[in-house]
Structure formats: structure tokens, C-alpha cells
Structure 1
Amino acid sequence: MTPDSHGPTTPSPARIRFALLALAMGGFGIGATEFVAMGLLPDMAADLLPGLSAESTDAANAAAGWIISAYALGVVVGAPTIAAAAARWPRKRLLLALLAAFSLGTIASALLPTFELVVAARFVAALPHGAYFGIASLVAASLMGPGKRARGVALVLSGLTIANVVGVPTITWLGQQAGWRIAYLVVAGIFVATFLAVAVALPWQPGDAGATMKRELRIFTRTQAWFALAIGAVGFGGLFSVYSYVAPLATEVTGLPAGAVPIVLVVFGLGMTIGNLVGGRLADWSVRRSMYLFFATLSGSLVLLGATAQHPLGLGAGVFLVGASAAALSPTIQARLMDVARDSQSIAAALNHSALNIGNSLGAILGGLVIASGLGYVAPVWVGLLLTVSGSILALGTFALDRARRRRGIPLPSVTGAFGAIGD
């Protein structure tokens, strides 16, 4: 008998490490497919919108931001739909299906000829995003063991953040040299390799046998779940209002050559990698305190970037700190959402990525609007600060509601069992 086909056995430590690495590879591919558009946005605008680009580079870049927004909206739609509908599937089988969909959607993004079709392909390619991260986070948490839930989430997300250190800058450079379509074909190859790694490495894990669509969708009846989703959707927009337009920020404001954009992306990615790991560890200590800390740090980082983006050192320090503090928020927000979701865990783990990608779309759209209005490439930084402060206010509100319920003697939800209890 094999554990993958007939039921669970206890995997060896070596296989657990291999499985966690395979899950992180999926995060690496997702990070590449999502974020490579940021560095190649001017190239994609010039190729797909040649008429508009000839009239106004700024207008073409702003319009091309819809490529980023379409991907984000695909995540928003796909995450709850797939997670709720497929919660009972064996988790390995579901992850393989999602990786196959990623591969096909990314190939379509590379090959379709027009702007409108590429936007549609990016939407379709994004549909598996949230469900992959949600299910992979549940699997990683199970493999990591009790008391390490947020660290399991952070480990899966580490593939995404490492992609921003290594994958996105490298693929951005390749896209600048060989064309953005070649860049997306490389990303598709990463997904194919991940499919093979997951097929070989991941132990068999059952789905949630008690899951039903009705039970999973019950999350939408809970006030605190809506608070958690709003925190991610609004607060995380601060990152993407900057990240979506980091290439023209570096070239038009700081005055760096286009060849320096991959270096800026490396700095961004290093910040995200470090912040993600710190955020996972601190969220296992206290979700509330960690969220307050990281929102304050993100706000200060955006102020620094907006004030010093004209100077290379200011740009580098700003993007590093923005990336670090925003990435630290991701496992923190996911842990909060899983806490308040109660028995709707599959959809909760996926919905976090819907919320964060609403922030992605919101940041890209609002950043594009202020650029198109002639306010310049620093203006999205101040839009990001406004979104971050709004997220901070929502965080204060959700924990104030916790305190009010505690005073009334209403027990607060927590997650135990395979995920371990988590601090407040």
C-alpha cells in the first residue's frame, strides 16, 4: 500500500521537509506569476497598447495596471468558490489540479495576442491562487504540528517572498532582454516543475469529510470575519499601491536606469522574505500585538519612502521596509481570519488571499488614477499610506469588539487541534 492512494501513514522527517519545500515551490511560482508584471509593466504597456503608449507613456502605464488588477480580481473570485466547493477533496489531489490550472493559465497569458485577451487570461490564471495558498497552508500547518500554525502559513508564503528576491528580478531581467512573453513561459515552467514535486513529495491527506458548502459559507455570517477580511483588503492596499508602480517610480522619480529595476525588486523581495518569517513567528505569540506593530511600521515606512524616493538610498530603504512590514502582516491577518472562522477553516484560509488581492487591485487602481491625473509616481505612496491607516483603524475596531465581548462574558473563538491555539 502507498499512503498516497490508500490512506495516511506517518511520513518521515525527510519527506515532511520535501513536502514543505514542494508547497513553498508553489508559492514561488505564484509570486512570480503575480509580481513579474510589476517590473515588466512598461514593456507590457508598450507592446500591448502601442497607440496609447505613443501618445502618453504615463497613460499607457496606468492603463496596463489593469493587467495587475485583473489578476487580483481573479484571486478574489476563485479563492472562496474553489475552497468552499472542493473542501472535501483529498488535499493532494486538489493541489495538483490547481497547479495544472496555473500552468495552463500562465501559458495562455504568454501567448494571447491582444491587451483585452491578456487581461482575461490573467483573471483566469488567478482563479486557483487563493485556494492553493489556503489548502497548502492547512497542509503545512498539519505537517508542522501543534502550536506552529502561523509558522506553517509563513513557510508556504516564503516561496512567494523568495520569488521576490530571486525569481521576479531574474525573470524581469529576462523579460526586458527577451520579451515579457518569454518571461511568462518561464513562469509556466516553474508551475510544471512544482506539479511534479508535489506529486512525488506530498503525503496523502484527506479533505474535510464534514465540510459542506453551507458550513463553509457560514463564515460570511460572522462580523469578525468581515472585519478580518476588510483589514486585509484595505490595509494591504498600501503595499500594492507602491509595488504596482515601483518600476516607473525607480526610473522616473529616482532617475535610475531600467536595468536597475531588478535590483530594486531584489531589495523589495528581501524585505518581504524577512518580514514574512518574522510575522509568522510573532503571530504565533500574539496576533493582536503583531498586527498593531506591523501596521505602525508599514505606515512609517511609506512616509519614509514618499519623502526620500528621489534618492537611491531612500528608495532602497523605503521599499525594503515597506516590503518587510507588509509581508509580516500577511500571516498575521491569516491567523486572525482562521481564529474567527471557527469551523469554516478551508474557506477562511483561502479568503485571506481574496482579501489581500482586493488590496492588490485597490492599490493598483487607485495608484493608476493618481498617476493618470498627473500627480506623478510618488502619489501612489501617499495613497498607500491612506489605505494603511484605514487598515489600522479597522484593526483597532476588531479587537475593541473582542474586548467588549469579553466584558460581556462571551467566549472568544480560537483554533485548536492540528493548528494549535494561538495568542490574542
Structure 2
Amino acid sequence: MKKGLFALALGGLSIGMTEFTMMGILPDIAKDINQSIPETAHLISLYALGVFVGAPTLVLITSKHAPKKVLMFLMLLFFLFNGIFSIAPNAWSMQISRFLAGLPHGAFFGVGSVVAAKMAPKGKEAQYISIMFTGMTIANLVGVPLGTYIGHNFSWRITYSIICFLGLITILGIYLWLPNIPADKTEKIAHQLSYFKRPEAWLLILLISIGTGGLFAWISYIAPLVTEVSGLEAGKVPFIMILIGFGMFFGNLLGGKLADSISPTKAAMTCFGSMAICLVLVYLVSTISWMAYPMAFLTGMISFTIGAPIQMMLIKTAHGSETLAAAGGQASFNMGNTLGAFLGGLPITMGYAYNTPSLVGCAMASLGVLITFIFYKTIVLKKYR
């Protein structure tokens, strides 16, 4: 693997840890600042809002600068804002710094996706992008469980200090290993924004925001699913999360190979369709305790195959606005996070069991297939043959 890809993967590891570790140490933070868990959970929503705001904004602001310098700048922001969060003394300062910490997330993956694609040999662009996203899957596999353990047994502030340190290492890795790709100084902001005048842009935003929500409708309620429905002990939940992380790791790489083999759009339809089938299977076997383990791995793997195909769809249809499109995809992915968690929770509030969110996820993934098919028929076949 090229060292530049390793540097990008380090960034994915750092960002994955700062985003997902919050779920595991939420009770510890709530206790530290003397708030209820639902009140403290606003830190999760504020981060997602930061991603949504920062992805297009920072890409446009930095568009005339070389990608290597932009990526170092974004990770510097990551280091500063997560550092402020780790020492924030009260709830309001934590909320502000948590929002700010989300700003560089989408822009980093947007710029990084384009850089990874440019580094790749022809025909292997999606696989190179998937390698960058491997950092995020490793975060879920190793970083999040470790950060949760440290936060619970010592201090959540130590966890986020470690995350800051990873940001510094990423800056060094980008400086030493990433190639110098020149900036396109002729590109105008108005031209990049014109991407959002195209129907393909909004179809992609729609399919990402809805289709990827299938993953989050399931994973947002994974702990009560395996304890309340499958009957596992609460102490088994970390092992379930590790299995999901393993699945995401392999699924991410599989999605990259699939996108390069059969085209990104066809791969996306395959991935969303497989996700829908898998989530129905989760619902049907969730009362069988031992099935919780293989289904955690399988669902994590299938759900995460979608990442690389979507990034390639964004890049291939952007024509001069590739970085903005890829960053917008990350913002849409976080919208899917919010929608999946919200819609998946509706049947629970109506008194249904904790396996019903998987049916909501199935519906969202199925809509993802439909929207992707519409995209293929109306956009790909007519414009990008």
C-alpha cells in the first residue's frame, strides 16, 4: 500500500474515533457534567450538524489550495477543536467545541477521496478510496472499544486527548507521505456550486440520505436489540460491536472491488438490495440468541459495502466539482445517520420490540435501491455512457 494512502487511513481512524466513541462514553460524560443522558446526547447531534455545515463550506474556502495543504489544515482544525472539547469545563463550551469538531470531517473525506482516486492506477479508483475508509472501520474495530474502556475506567478526557494525538500523527503522515498534487487555481467557486443545479446531485443526496439510513436504523439500537430481544447479557455488547467492526472492515474493501468490477451504480444497487435482505433476516432471527453473533458480522459487512460505490458515483458525475460532491456525500451520510436513528426509533415509541427498527432500515435500503435505479436510468445511461 502506498504510504500516502496510509496517511489518509490514519485520518479516517482519527475521525472515526472522535465520532463513534461518543456513543460508548456518553454516560460517563453525562455524569461528569451533571446532565441527563438525553441532554448529553445533543453532543452527537451537534457533531453531525458540524459535519453537515463544514463539508461544503470548508471545501469551497480551500478550493484554490493544494490538496496536501488542505488536508493538513483540516487535521489541524481537528486537533484544535477536539483538544478544546477534551478540556471544556461545562456543558455549553462542550457543545460549541463538539460542533466545531465536526466541521473538518466531511471536507477531509471529500478531499481525501479525490486524492485517493488520483493516486490509483486506472480501474482501481474505488479500491483506493475504500483503503482510505479502512481507517474508519479500524476505528470501530479497535479504537472505539479501547476509547470506551479508557473513558469508562479512567476519564473520557483522556480518550479525547488520545484522539487529538492521533490527529497530530496524521498531520505528520500527510506531510511526509502524501504526494504533492497541484491545486486547480482556475476553478471558480460559482462553477463548483453549479453542481447543485444538476438533477444528478440531488438524486445522489437523496439516495445517500435515505439509503444509508438503513444501516443507522439498525445499529443505533443494537445494544437493546441483542439484550432485550436476543437475550444476551449486557457484557456481551462490546463483543457484538467488535464483530460489527470486523464486518465493516471487510465490507468496505469488498465494496471497493465490487465498484471497480461492475460499475459504481450497479454496485450501489447490489449493496442496498443486499442490505435490505439482511435487515429482514435480522428481524426474523433476532429472538435466537446465538444468531446475534453471525448476524452482527454479516450485517456490518453488507451495510458497509456501500461506501466506496457512492464515493465513486459522486466523483464520476461531478465534472470539475469532484471534491465538493464527495464532501457533500459525507454530509448526506450524516443525514442518513440522523434519519435512520429517528425513523428507526418510531416503532419503539409506539410500543413495538427493539427488532422492528431493522424493518424500518429494510424500507430505507429498499428506497435506496429504487432511487439508485432511477439515477441509473435517467442519468448514467443518458449522460455518462
TM-score under structure 1 normalisation?
0.83
In the alignment, what sits opposite 2:23? 38
Q: Sort the Cα spacing of 1:73 and 1:233 in 2 relative to 1 into closer, same or farther, 3 A.
A: same
Structure 1 residues 181, 91: closer, same or farther in 2, change over 3 A?
same
Distance 1:261 1:181, change over 3 A: farther
Q: Residue 87 of structure 1 aligns to a residue in which SS? A: coil
Q: Which residue of structure 1 lines up, in the alignment, with residue 283 of structure 2?
A: 306
Equivalent pairs, count = 384
Matched residue, 2:163: 187
Q: For residue 201 of structure 2, what is the aligned residue in structure 1?
A: 225
Alpha-carbon shift at residue 146 of structure 1 (Å)? 2.2
Matches within 5 A, 1:123-162: 123-162=99-138
CA distance in 2, matches of 1:248, 1:175: 21
Deviation, 1:253, is 3.9
- Corresponding residue for residue 75 of structure 1: 51
Question: Could you tell me which of 384, 388, 399 is aligned with 2:365?
Answer: 388
Q: Which piece of structure 1 moves more, 225-234 or 379-388? A: 379-388
Counterparts of residues 331-342 of structure 1 (less than 5 Å): 331-342=308-319
Residue number among 336, 339, 351 corresponding to 1:362 in the alignment:
339
> Which residue does the alignment assign to 1:209?
185
C-alpha spacing 1:197/1:230, structure 2 compared with 1 (3 Å): same
**Mean Cα deviation higher: 305-314 or 338-347:** 305-314
What residue is the counterpart of 1:262 in the other structure?
A: 238
1:310-330 C-alpha deviation (Å, 9 max, x unpaired)? 444322223222221221111
Distance in 2 of aligned mates of 1:208 and 1:33: 31
Cα distance, 1:219 vs. partner? 0.9
SS in 2 for 1:280: helix
246, 271, 274: which one pairs with 1:297? 274
Query: Hey, what does 1:418 align to over in structure 2?
Result: none
* Partner amino acid, structure 2, of 1:227: L
Query: Equivalences for 1:393-412 in 2 at 5 Å?
Result: 393-402=370-379, 406=381, 410=382, 412=383
Q: CA RMSD in A?
A: 2.3
Following the alignment from structure 2 to structure 1, what is the Cα–Cα distance between the partners of residues 29 and 226?
17
The residue matched to 2:320 in structure 1 has which SS?
Answer: coil
The residue type paired with residue 273 of structure 2 is A
What letter corresponds to residue 37 of structure 1 in structure 2?
M
Instruction: Report 1:159-170 matches (<5 A).
Output: 159-170=135-146
Shift of 1:309: 3.2
Partner Cα separation in structure 2 for residue 300 and residue 49 of structure 1: 42
How far did 1:163 drift? 1.4
Sequence identity percentage: 37
Q: CA deviation at 1:44?
A: 4.0
Q: CA deviation at 1:209?
A: 2.0
Report what 1:12 is aligned to: none
Partner residue, 1:92: 68
Equivalent position of 1:20 in the other structure: 5
Distance 1:381 1:166, change over 3 A: same
Relative to structure 1, is the Cα distance of residues 219 and 205 closer, same or farther in structure 2, using a 3 angstrom cutoff?
same
Equivalent-residue separation in structure 1 for 2:208 and 2:236 (angstroms) = 31
Q: Following TM superposition, by how much is the alpha carbon of 1:64 offset from its aligned partner in structure 2, in angstroms?
A: 4.7
TM-score, normalised to structure 2, is 0.91
Q: Any stretches of 5+ residues in structure 2 without a counterpart?
A: none
What are the equivalent positions in structure 2 for 1:49-60 lying under 5 Å apart? Answer: 50=35, 52=36, 60=37
CA distance in 1, matches of 2:343, 2:198: 29
Asked if the contact 1:38–1:245 (Cα under 8 Å) also holds between the matched residues in 2, the reply is: no
Instruction: State the shift of 1:210 in Å.
Output: 2.1
Query: Could you list the per-position Cα deviations for residues 254-277 of structure 1 after superposition, in whole angstroms to 9, with x for gaps in the alignment?
Result: 444444332222111111111111
SS at match of 1:35: helix
1:206 counterpart SS class: coil
Does the 8 A contact of 1:241 with 1:363 survive in 2?
yes
Which deviates the most, 281-290 or 246-255? 246-255
Distance in 2, matches of 1:319 and 1:121, equals 33
Structure 1 Cα separation of the partners of residues 362 and 208 of structure 2: 14
Q: Is the CA contact 1:65–1:368 (under 8 Å) kept in the aligned structure 2?
A: no
Superposed CA deviations along residues 364-391 of structure 1, whole A, max 9, x for unmatched, are 3334555455545334323322222222
Matches of 1:136 and 1:344, distance apart in 2: 14
SS class of match (2:2): helix
| Kept after mapping to 1: 8 A contact 2:113/2:311 | no
Instruction: Specify the code of the residue in structure 2 equivalent to 1:316.
Output: Y
Q: Secondary structure at the match of 1:128?
A: helix
Of stretches 268-277 and 341-350 in structure 1, the one that deviates more from structure 2 is 341-350
Q: Is the 8 A contact 1:70 1:361 kept in 2?
A: no
Q: Which residue of 2 aligns with 1:121?
A: 97
Deviations 1:138-167 (A, max 9, x none): 222222232221112111111111211111
CA contact (8 A) 1:235 1:390 kept: yes
Change in Cα spacing, 1:223 to 1:72, as seen in structure 2 (3 Å) is same
Q: Secondary structure, in 3 states, of the residue corresponding to 1:127?
A: helix
